[in-house]
Chain A
Amino acid sequence: MASSSMRRSLLAASFVLILFFVSSASAAAPANLVISKVDRKIDLVSQVVRTTAQIKVENKGMEPASEVLLAVSSEQAKSMAYLRVTTTEGRGKSKAPGVVLSVKPAEGEGPANVTFFSVELPKPLGKGEAVALDIYSAYSHLLKPFPVEIGQSDVQLVLFHDSAYYLSPYPVKVQTTAMRVPSFRVESFTKVEPSKITDGEIKYGPYENIPALTYSPITAHFENNEPFAVVKDLEREIEISHWGNIYITEKYRLTHAGARHKGGFSRFDYQSKPSASGAASFRHLLARLPSRAHSVYYRDEIGNISTSHLRSDLRKTELELEPRYPLFGGWQVTFTIGYGVPLQDFVFKAEDGRRFLNITFGSPFVNVVVENLVVKVVLPEGSTETTALIPFHAEQTLKTKYTYLDTVGRTVIELTKKNVIPEHNVNFQVYYRFNSIALLAEPLLLVAGFFAFFAACIAYTHFDFSISKSSSSYQARQLREEVLDAVQRIQKVMNERAVASEKLEASLRDLARTGNVAASKAARKETDVKLKETAKDLKAILDSLPASSRSTVLAKVDTLMQKEREMQEKLQQKHTITVEAYEKKLSSKEIDSRVAPYQQKLTALKQEVSELLNLLDD
């Protein structure tokens, strides 16, 4: 270990030299700018290193400068996740707090170990003018655990490498650097006078008149037990349904990226001595979900994981979940969380008629680094003209996905980004065109499905699927069908006749009430016509009955028809007598006594007919 750190400092020393030589060559490239003051703060409290540098740039040259170069050592540039430069003009008076400036990687030659970024100034810096810039940058995976492997009872120590001087392509007049560490336990730090440590803060400087691109390596070795929760792969799927919900599914592969665990794991020690055991491990994760999130689930391949808590109030929903086991260095766990949010909270209609989704980009978990983030926005079927608007660079691809009740598939915008830190948790937009009529595609598909089933049933009952048309069982079935059909037709005609006689009886009742003989006669005539017609129909049906079945059915039908005819005759007689009686203006008593015998017979016959009809059903 000692030899490796020796080698590292040797390497660093040569690095300084190289930089010095190259800097003289490339000094001509940037304009004659000078940084008059640098105030740098490095936050080493969590797993993400965040630096803020407030610099003041002055133009000492003749020509105006339109851009300022920033230098970052290549090692740091590799793990740089976020860089934002803002300008603070006008010293806090009326001006807005900060204008975000555009930053792009600078091309051109430079020392191999340094990566340059060029910052475009809002207006060129004239001779003798100065501008104040705030440079905020964040790095993941910059803290290296040392020792690399620790036991269960050990604390986690990490190394941080940087330069004591602010790395800049311009000479720096005055500068200070402060590093905030999470604990008072600092094993060592490189001293570059004047430097000191106070209250969890390591201070370097002030240093004066440092030439351009001076790199003086420093190393801080300190305790950091913050959870190094790194999500190796995260797949967020945001599925929009215009029926009222957005469903979000997130698949995680979570690791502990701190010092690797060494030796065995004692659950007893872990439970009984929580302060002394597994200091760098973590067992909880907190996710801040949208305020109206519902149907939250947390599961993995095995099934539901019950160790989670959901708290929600009007402003936020918090999901605290525990993986199936505490995570020590190098351990990993996979799980899936999912939730639904109301459509109206995240999807809007823009002025030009397009619709857009406005939702956060990164993981809802607090303080996690996502190495590989894939955000899939699944738009409803029938969406066109899809564009995504993200405030930083991310790869975009268009895909198609088929889920429930899809015909042509849904458009999916897939956004891929590496090295995502909480700073990337900002809203992004996906614009698309969608016609509300397309909403009907899903129910109509279901309707069509059901209708196909009914159509199949209709077809099945209408077509004859038997193979052998000459077998006796087939013929018997065919015959039965025909007889059944005839019987049904007879029943139908009988019903018609019954309705007709009912009418006649109703006219008799009317007669008794009003004494209107003419109306009753008319009704009689009508009924007679009807009966005559139906009698013809009945005869036709009887003739059409297949000969072989006559013996069995005919007897029944014959008796029925006989009785029915008898009944109709009795009714007619009753009618005739009643009408006559009325014409003779007989007293009602006399009418009753004359009609009574017919009435009795009629009731008996009616009973018989209905019984016969029922019998025929069997």
Chain B
Amino acid sequence: MASSVISITSPVSESFYPILAVFLLTVGLVSTASFFIYEVTTSKFNRSIIREVATGGLASFFLGFGSLFLLLWTGVSI
């Protein structure tokens, strides 16, 4: 039986969870900061919606994956 079955592992090795969480969250927070800096420094009339969505999207991507690995690292069962 043992020969015909393969054990299933995580797609990302568990030892990478801390470093991934820290790195992704850092990038995410930096892009969040740049998003808000852009929001408050540019005036209402010459803000570019594309740039806003792009920065926001980038920030949410990194924050999303970063918080996933943070949850996994801290042992929340997800």
Contacts and interface: CB of A to CB of B under 8 A. Distances in A.
A and B found bound together = yes
Interface string A257-282: 00000000000000000000000000
A483 B77 CA distance: 53
A443 B65 contact: yes
B7 A348 contact: yes
A489 B77 contact: no
Contacts of A241: 77-78
Contacts of B14: 244-245, 342
B8 A355 contact: yes
Contacts of A245: 10, 14, 75, 77
A345 B35 CA distance: 44
B1 to A, nearest CB: 9
Contacts of B63: 446-447, 450
B37 to A, nearest CB: 12
B75 A488 contact: no
A404 interface: yes
Interface string B11-26: 1101000000000000
A343 B10 contact: yes
A392 interface: no
Contacts of A323: none
User: What bracket does the count of chain B residues touching chain A fall in?
Assistant: 35 or more
A473 interface: no
Given A242-B10, A439-B11, A485 B46 contact: yes
A461 B53 contact: no
Interface stretch (A9-17, A51-59, A452-460, A521-529): A452-460
A446 B65 contact: yes
A250 interface: no
Interface string A427-445: 0000000001001001111
B27 interface: no
B77 A247 contact: yes
Interface string A453-477: 1110110011000000000000000
A243 B10 contact: yes
A436 B11 contact: yes
Interface residues of A, number: 48
A447 B43 contact: no
A295 B35 contact: no
A350 interface: yes
A376 to B, nearest CB: 13
Interface string A325-357: 000000000000000101111011111000110
B11 A451 contact: no
Interface in B41-78: 42-47, 49, 52-53, 56-57, 59-61, 63-65, 67-68, 71-72, 75-78
A129 interface: no
Contacts of B5: 348-351, 356
B23 to A, nearest CB: 15
B39 A457 contact: yes
A103 interface: no
Contact of A446 (B4, B39, B64, B75): B64
A349 B1 CA distance: 11
A242 B72 CA distance: 11
A296 to B, nearest CB: 11
A484 interface: yes
Secondary structure call for the B interface: helix
B56 A461 contact: no
A344 B68 contact: no
A347 B61 CA distance: 30
Contacts of B64: 443-451
A350 B44 CA distance: 59
Contact of A349 (B6, B47, B68): B6
A458 B52 contact: yes
Given A446-B65, A461-B39, A344 B9 contact: yes
Contacts of B46: 485, 488-489
A596 interface: no
A405 interface: yes
A614 interface: no
B52 to A, nearest CB: 5
A566 interface: no
A344 B61 CA distance: 28
Nearest to A453: B60
B75 to A, nearest CB: 5
A351 B60 contact: no
Contacts of B75: 245, 295, 340
Given A239-B77, A244-B9, A403-B77, A455 B56 contact: yes
A481 interface: yes
Nearest to A237: B77
A454 B60 contact: yes
Contact of B68 (A350, A442, A448, A484): A442
B76 A348 contact: no
Contacts of A405: 78
A343 B9 contact: yes
Contacts of A457: 35-36, 39, 56
A350 B9 CA distance: 14
Contacts of A485: 43-46
A367 B35 CA distance: 61
A343 B14 CA distance: 11
Nearest to B13: A244
A462 B53 CA distance: 12
Interface in A227-249: 239, 241-245, 247
Given A403-B77, A454-B59, A462-B47, 13 more contacts: A242-B8, A243-B72, A244-B14, A245-B10, A349-B6, A404-B77, A439-B11, A450-B60, A453-B60, A454-B56, A457-B56, A462-B49, A485-B46
Closest 3 CB pairs between A and B? A244-B10, A454-B56, A447-B64
14 contacts: A244-B12, A245-B14, A245-B77, A343-B8, A348-B5, A349-B5, A404-B71, A404-B77, A404-B78, A447-B63, A451-B60, A454-B56, A455-B53, A461-B39
Interface of B: 4-12, 14, 28, 35-36, 39, 42-47, 49, 52-53, 56-57, 59-61, 63-65, 67-68, 71-72, 75-78
